[in-house]
C-alpha cells in the first residue's frame, strides 16, 4: 500500500464527499489524471468474487441492457420504414400501426432500462456494504504496528474515497460499457446491412475521431498531472497557514502568508487553464466530425439516391444513427477512466484486506482463565524498525499485587514496555511471561480482557457517559457502571451533567475537561476489574482538585492488583514497591525510591534537578 499512498489524493481533508450518483454532476470533458491499478486482472478477479453472489441478477441486468440497446437501434430503422413504405405510398393506416409499434419499442426499451438500473443499484450498494464491512472487520484484527504506520486519515480515505471510486465504477461502468459497445457495434452493423457504401463513406470519420481522442487525452493527462502537483502544493501552504493562523497573526506575517499562497494559487490557475483548455477542445472537434458525418451522409446519400441506390427513408435512418453514434463512442473514453479509477480504488482496498496481523494467536494457544498477576520480562529485546533497537535486554519481574513504577526520559522505552505486556507487539528476542505462561502462547482476547489499561491520551466514544463506562465490560448492568464511576470519583461530576449518565458525549468528548475524561477512563478500567493494571500517568494539564481526585481513584483501583505505571509524579514513585529507571531502552537502575536516592546515580540526578530543588525552595 505504501507505494500507492504517494499517489493517492494529496489532501483528502473532506473525508466524506457526496457519494450519490446525482451529486457527481455532469462528467465534463477531461477530469483528472487516470490512476491505474498495478495488477488489473487480479483486482478484477477479486472484485468479481464480491459480485458472484449476484450472478443471476447480473445475467438479468445484462439481458435488460441488451434488450434496451437493440431496441434503440431498431427505432431509427422504423422511422426510415415509415417514410419509404407508408408516407411515400400514402398509407395512413399503416403509418399509424407503425407508430404504435415504434411506441411499443420505445416503451419496452425504457422499461428494460428501468429494470436494469433498479437491479444494479441494489447489487452495487450491497457489494459496497460488504466491502466496507470486510474492510472494517479486517482493520479490527490488525496489530498496532499497522496503525503506527498508517494514520487514521489515510485509512479513512480507503474507506471513503476508494470505496466511492468503486461505487462509481460499479454502478456506471458495467452497464454503460455494455450499452455503449452494443450501440456502437449495433449501429455499425445496421448501417452496413442497410447500405454498404453509405455506411463505408460515413464511417471514414471514425478513425479520425479515435486518433483525435487519444491524442488529446494523452496531452491532457500530462496537463492534469501538473494541476495535481500544483494543488498538492497549494493545499500544503493552505493547511499550514490555516492551522497555524494564530502564529501567523502573532508574528504579523499575514502579508507573507498571502503572498506565498498567491504564488501557489496562480500556479494552479495557470496549469488548470492550460490543461482544461486542451481538454475542452475535444468536444467541439468531435462535434465537427459528427456534423461532417451527417454532411457526408447527405452528400453521398443524395448522390446514391439520385442513382436509385438508396431510399430517402434509409438516409433519414442514417442521420438518426449518426446523431446517436458519437455519444456512446465518447462515453466509452470516459468510462475507461472511471473504470480505471474504480480498479485502482479496489486495489488499495484489497491491499488493506491482504494485510496479515503481525501479532496472531497460535493454533494451539491456551486460554488463561484467572490470572494471578505475576509478570516477568526475560531478556527482552524489541525493535519497531530493523536495526533500531528500542529495548535491549530488559529483565524484571513483578509479584502479584505489587506496584512497579517506570521512570525515565521521553523515548526511553517506557511505553513500549507496557505495550508488550498486553502483547500489542511481539518481542524481537526474549520472552514475556504472565503467571509463568509466555504471552505468545496465550489467546490474545483472553489475555487482554484481564488487563486494565489507562492511557494518558484518554479516548472516549461519541455515545452516552454510561455507554462509555460500559465499554469496559459490555454485560455490566447500569448499577455496576455507576459503582465503577463512584470508585473512580467520577460520579460527582457525572451527576452534575445536564442528563447525568445519559449525557451524550460530543465527538472527541470536547464537552468534558481533560480531567473529567481521565476519570471516565479510570471508571471504564475499574468496571473491567482486571488482574493487572497498566497506567500511563498524565504529565499535567489537569487542574489541581481533579488531580487529587484522579490520584485517589487510581490508588483505590490499584488495591490488590499488579500495577505497572509510567510515573511522572513523585508521590506515585514513592508509593511504588519497585522503581525501574529506564534510559535508552535499558533498565539502568532499580530499587525503591529511597534505595535509588542512596545510589546517587541517574535517578538521584533526576530527583535533585527537579523535585529536590522545589522542596528546598519550599522550605525557605
Partner 1 sequence: MKSLLRLGRFLKRYRLSMALSLVMLAGTVATDLAIPRMTQTVIDRGILQRDMSAILRTSLAMVGVTAVGAGLFIGNSLLAVQVSQSATADLRRDLFTHIQSLSFANLDRLQTGQLMTRMTNDVMQILQFTLLTMRMFVRAPLMIVGSVSLLLATNWHLALIMLVLIPAAMVVFWLFAAKAQPMFLEVQRRLGQLNTVLQENLSGVHVVKAFVRARHESARYDRKNVALMEQAVAVGHLLAVLLPFLQLVTNLGTVAVVGLGGLQAIRGTLSVGQIVAFNSYITSTMFPLAHLGMMVSFISAAAASAKRVFDLLDTAPQICERPDAYDLPLIKGRVALEKVAFSYDGHDRRSVLNDIDLTAEPGEAVAILGATGAGKTTLINLIPRFYDASAGRVTIDGVDVREVTLNSLRSQLGLVLQESILFGGTIRDNIRYGRPEATEEQVVAAAKAAQAHDFIMRLPEGYDSWVGQRGVNLSGGEKQRVAIARALLMDPRILILDDSTSSVDVQTEIKIQRALERVMAGRTSFIVAQRVSTVLHADKIVVLDRGAITAIGTHSELMEGSSIYREIYASQLGDDQRGQQHVSE
Nearer to partner 1 among residue 37 and residue 414 (C-beta): 414
To the nearest whole angstrom, how small is the minimum distance from the Cβ of residue 40 to partner 1? 27
Q: Cβ closer to partner 1: 37 or 328?
A: 328
Give all strands of the β-sheet with 451-454 in edge-to-edge order.
451-454, 532-536, 562-566, 403-407, 578-583, 586-591
**Binder among 568, 586, 590, 604 for partner 1 (CB under 8 A):** 568
Only segment of 56-64, 197-205, 264-272, 398-406 that touches partner 1 (CB under 8 A):
264-272
Residues 496-515 that bind partner 1 (CB under 8 A): 507-508, 513-515
Q: Which of 42, 55, 63, 133 binds partner 1 (CB under 8 A)?
A: 133
Q: What b/e readout covers 388-410, taking b as 16+ CB neighbours within 10 angstroms?
A: ebbbbebebebeebbbbbbbbee
**CA 460 to each of CA 143, 182, 358, 361: distance values in angstroms, whole numbers, following the listed order:** 21, 55, 26, 28
- Whole-number Cα distances in Å, 257 to 244, 246, 254, 542: 11, 12, 5, 35
Of 37 and 533, which has the nearer Cβ to partner 1? 533
Q: Which of 244, 400, 401, 500 binds partner 1 (CB under 8 A)?
A: 244
Q: Which stretch binds partner 1 (CB under 8 A): 208-216, 361-369, 426-434, 469-477?
A: 469-477
The distance of closest approach from Cβ of residue 238 to partner 1 in the complex, given in angstroms and rounded to an integer, is: 6
Contact residue for partner 1 among 41, 49, 370, 619 (CB under 8 A):
619
CB of 42 to partner 1, least distance (A): 26
Among 547, 556, 586, 591, binds partner 1 (CB under 8 A): 547
Question: Cell for 247?
Answer: 502564529
Q: Site for partner 1 (CB under 8 A): which residue of 194, 198, 344, 451?
A: 451
Under rule CB under 8 A, residue 102 binds partner 1? yes
The residue to which cell 448499577 is assigned: 479
Continuous segment of H or E residues that includes residue 310: none
Location of C-alpha cell 491520551: 457
Name the one range near partner 1 by CB under 8 A: 86-94, 173-181, 331-339, 433-441.
86-94
Distance CA 389, CA 381 (A): 7
Whether residue 450 contacts residue 423, with contact meaning beta carbons closer than 8 Å, is answered with no
Number of shown-chain residues binding partner 1 (CB under 8 A): 177
DSSP 513-575: -HHHHHHHHHHHHHHH--SEEEEE---S-S-HHHHHHHHHHHHHHHTTSEEEEE--SHHHHHH
Among 11, 57, 433, 561, binds partner 1 (CB under 8 A): 11
Q: Interface residues for partner 1 in 305-324 (CB under 8 A)?
A: 305-306, 312, 315-316, 319-320, 323
Work out whether 594 is an interface residue with partner 1 (CB under 8 A). yes
Shortest Å distance, C-beta 327 to partner 1: 9
Using the rule CB under 8 A, which residue among 546, 584, 592, 599 binds partner 1?
Answer: 546
Are the CB atoms for 501 and 466 separated by under 8 Å? yes
Cα 116 to Cα 113: distance, rounded to the nearest angstrom = 5
- Closest approach, Cβ 253 to partner 1, in A, equals 7
590 strand-pairing partners: 580
CB of 39 to partner 1, least distance (A): 27
Looking at the Cβ atoms of 37 and 213, the one nearer to partner 1 is 213
Q: Which three cell numbers stand for residue 480?
A: 455496576
- β-strand pairing of 429-434 with 437-438: antiparallel
* Least distance to partner 1, CB of residue 147, Å: 5
What distance in Å separates the CA atoms of residue 79 and residue 311, rounded to the nearest whole number?
Answer: 12
Binder of partner 1 out of 22, 49, 385, 388 (CB under 8 A): 22
Residue with cell 438500473: 117
**Cell (9 digits) for 78:** 422504423
The interface with partner 1 within residues 346-405 (CB under 8 A) comprises none
Q: Is there a contact between 516 and 546 (Cβ–Cβ < 8 Å)?
A: yes
Confirm or reject binding of residue 64 to partner 1 (CB under 8 A): no
Applying CB under 8 A, which part among 173-181, 189-197, 230-238, 485-493 lies near partner 1? Answer: 230-238
**Least distance in angstroms from the C-beta of 277 to partner 1:** 5
Which of 175, 213, 422, 563 forms a contact with partner 1 (CB under 8 A)? 422
Residues 198-227 that bind partner 1 (CB under 8 A): none
Q: Does residue 20 touch partner 1 according to CB under 8 A?
A: yes
Among 36, 38, 53, 574, binds partner 1 (CB under 8 A): 574
The residues that bridge with 586 in the sheet, in sequence order, are 583
Rounded to whole angstroms, the Cα distance separating 464 from 71 reads 58
Cβ distance to partner 1 smaller for residue 37 or 488: 488
Distance of alpha carbon 408 from alpha carbon 410, whole angstroms = 7
Q: Which is nearer to partner 1, 3 or 410 (CB)?
A: 410
Write out the binding residues for partner 1, residues 280-309 only, by CB under 8 A.
280-281, 283-285, 287-288, 291-292, 294-296, 298-299, 301-303, 305-306
Closest CA to 420 of 447, 446, 387, 459: 447
Give, to the nearest 10 degrees, the angle between helix 478-487 and helix 544-558. Answer: 110
Residue nearer to partner 1 on the CB measure, 380 or 542: 542
Pick the binder of partner 1 from 21, 31, 504, 591 (CB under 8 A). 21
| Segment interacting with partner 1, rule: CB under 8 A, options 59-67, 135-143, 198-206, 377-385 | 135-143
Beta carbon nearer to partner 1, 196 or 461:
461
Whole-number Å distance between alpha carbons of 187 and 69: 10
3-class secondary structure, 275: helix
Closest to partner 1 by CB, 323 or 487? 323
Amino acid at each position: 500500500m505504501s507505494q500507492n499512498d504517494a499517489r493517492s489524493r494529496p489532501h483528502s481533508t473532506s473525508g466524506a464527499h457526496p457519494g450519490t450518483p446525482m451529486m457527481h454532476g455532469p462528467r465534463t470533458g477531461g477530469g483528472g489524471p487516470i490512476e491505474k491499478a498495478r495488477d488489473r486482472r487480479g483486482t478484477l478477479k477479486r472484485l468479481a468474487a464480491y459480485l458472484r453472489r449476484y450472478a443471476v441478477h447480473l445475467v438479468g441486468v445484462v439481458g435488460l441492457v441488451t434488450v434496451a440497446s437493440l431496441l434503440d437501434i431498431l427505432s431509427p430503422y422504423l422511422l426510415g420504414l415509415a417514410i419509404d413504405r407508408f408516407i411515400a405510398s400514402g398509407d395512413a393506416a399503416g403509418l399509424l400501426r407503425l407508430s404504435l409499434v415504434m411506441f411499443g419499442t420505445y416503451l419496452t426499451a425504457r422499461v428494460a432500462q428501468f429494470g436494469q438500473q433498479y437491479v444494479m443499484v441494489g447489487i452495487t450498494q450491497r457489494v459496497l456494504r460488504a466491502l466496507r464491512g470486510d474492510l472494517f472487520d479486517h482493520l479490527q484484527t490488525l496489530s498496532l504496528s499497522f496503525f503506527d504506520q498508517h494514520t487514521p486519515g489515510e485509512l479513512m480515505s480507503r474507506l471513503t474515497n476508494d470505496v466511492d471510486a468503486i461505487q462509481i465504477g460499479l454502478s456506471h461502468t458495467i452497464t454503460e460499457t455494455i450499452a455503449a459497445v452494443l450501440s456502437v457495434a449495433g449501429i455499425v452493423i445496421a448501417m452496413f446491412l442497410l447500405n454498404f457504401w453509405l455506411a463505408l463513406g460515413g464511417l471514414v470519420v471514425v478513425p479520425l475521431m479515435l486518433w483525435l481522442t487519444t491524442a488529446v487525452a494523452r496531452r491532457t493527462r500530462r496537463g492534469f498531472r501538473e494541476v495535481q502537483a500544483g494543488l498538492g502544493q497549494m493545499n500544503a501552504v493552505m493547511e499550514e497557514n490555516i492551522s497555524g493562523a494564530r502564529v501567523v497573526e502573532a508574528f504579523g506575517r499575514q502579508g507573507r502568508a498571502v503572498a506565498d499562497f498567491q504564488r501557489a494559487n496562480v500556479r494552479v490557475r495557470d496549469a488548470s487553464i492550460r490543461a482544461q483548455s486542451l481538454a475542452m477542445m475535444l468536444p467541439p472537434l468531435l462535434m465537427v466530425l459528427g456534423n461532417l458525418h451527417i454532411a457526408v451522409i447527405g452528400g453521398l446519400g443524395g448522390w446514391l439516391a439520385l442513382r436509385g441506390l438508396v431510399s430517402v427513408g434509409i438516409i433519414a435512418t442514417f442521420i438518426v444513427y449518426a446523431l446517436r453514434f458519437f455519444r456512446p463512442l465518447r462515453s466509452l473514453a470516459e468510462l475507461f477512466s472511471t473504470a480505471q479509477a474504480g480498479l485502482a480504488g479496489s486495489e488499495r482496498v484489497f491491499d488493506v484486506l491482504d494485510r496479515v496481523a503481525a501479532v496472531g494467536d497460535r493454533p494451539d494457544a491456551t486460554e488463561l482463565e484467572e490470572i494471578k498477576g505475576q509478570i516477568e520480562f526475560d531478556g527482552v529485546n524489541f525493535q519497531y524498525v530493523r536495526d533500531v533497537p528500542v529495548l535491549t535486554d530488559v529483565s524484571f519481574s513483578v509479584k502479584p499485587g505489587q506496584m512497579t513504577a517506570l521512570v525515565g526520559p521521553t523515548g526511553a522505552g517506557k511505553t513500549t514496555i507496557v505495550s508488550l505486556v498486553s502483547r500489542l507487539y511481539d518481542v524481537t528476542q526474549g520472552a514475556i511471561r504472565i503467571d509463568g505462561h509466555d504471552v505468545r502462547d496465550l489467546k490474545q482476547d483472553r489475555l487482554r480482557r484481564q488487563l486494565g489499561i489507562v492511557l494518558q491520551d484518554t479516548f472516549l466514544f461519541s455515545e452516552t457517559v454510561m455507554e462509555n463506562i460500559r465499554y469496559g465490560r459490555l454485560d455490566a448492568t447500569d448499577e455496576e457502571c455507576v459503582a465503577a464511576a463512584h470508585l473512580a470519583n467520577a460520579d460527582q461530576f457525572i451527576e452534575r451533567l445536564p442528563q447525568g449518565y445519559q449525557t451524550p458525549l460530543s465527538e472527541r468528548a470536547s464537552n468534558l475537561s481533560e480531567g473529567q475524561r481521565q476519570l471516565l477512563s479510570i471508571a471504564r478500567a475499574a468496571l473491567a476489574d482486571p488482574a493487572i493494571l497498566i497506567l500511563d500517568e498524565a504529565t499535567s494539564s489537569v487542574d489541581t482538585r481533579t488531580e487529587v481526585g484522579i490520584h485517589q481513584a487510581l490508588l483505590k483501583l490499584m488495591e490488590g492488583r499488579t500495577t505497572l505505571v509510567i510515573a511522572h509524579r513523585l508521590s506515585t514513585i514513592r508509593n511504588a514497591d519497585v522503581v525501574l529507571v529506564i534510559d535508552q531502552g535499558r533498565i539502568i537502575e532499580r530499587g525503591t525510591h529511597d534505595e535509588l536516592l542512596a545510589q546517587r546515580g541517574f535517578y538521584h540526578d533526576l530527583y535533585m534537578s527537579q523535585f529536590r530543588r522545589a522542596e528546598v525552595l519550599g522550605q525557605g
